[in-house]
Amino acid sequence: MQVEAPQFVQRIAQRRGVRQFIKFGIVGASGLLVNLVIFTLLQHGMTLEEQRQRYNLIYSIAFLAGGVSNYFLNRIWTFRATGHAVLQGIQFLTVSAIALGVGLAVSAVAKPHLGPGHRTWLLATLAGIVVNFFVNKYWTFRPGRA
């Protein structure tokens, strides 16, 4: 016996924006993994005090590494962009820098309470996801742009 989703769920799933957000989430998860691995490797062997002193640098390097992989996957798979790759790359980098700023601001607020480790990293990274999706969808990879 096959169970069908309610009609409103089927309609929502057929919307282009919803599909793109799901794909963006999958791509984001792969970028999150890249980000986490880089963050963890860069923190490896540091004392807690060294982690505190170098947190912004480590966070930034890891964030941007995840962003590079996200750009390529989002361009070819999520948004199937056909616009000028260099221009879109610059725009994506700009959006990433804005999201990085959001992440660093969230980190500054969270770090005194959660420490310089993975909990602060996760909260800061999640804060940038919303910025990344909507600005990239409606600016960087805007449909109909050649």
Residues 6+ apart with CB under 8 A from 82: 146
pTM tops 0.85, yes or no: no
Task: Indicate if the pLDDT at residue 63 is higher than 90.
Answer: no
The tokens describing 119, both together, are 């909990």
Structure confidence by residue, pLDDT tens digits, 70-118: 999 999 999 999 889 999 999 998 998 898 899 899 999 999 999 888 8
Q: Where are the domains of the chain?
A: 7-140
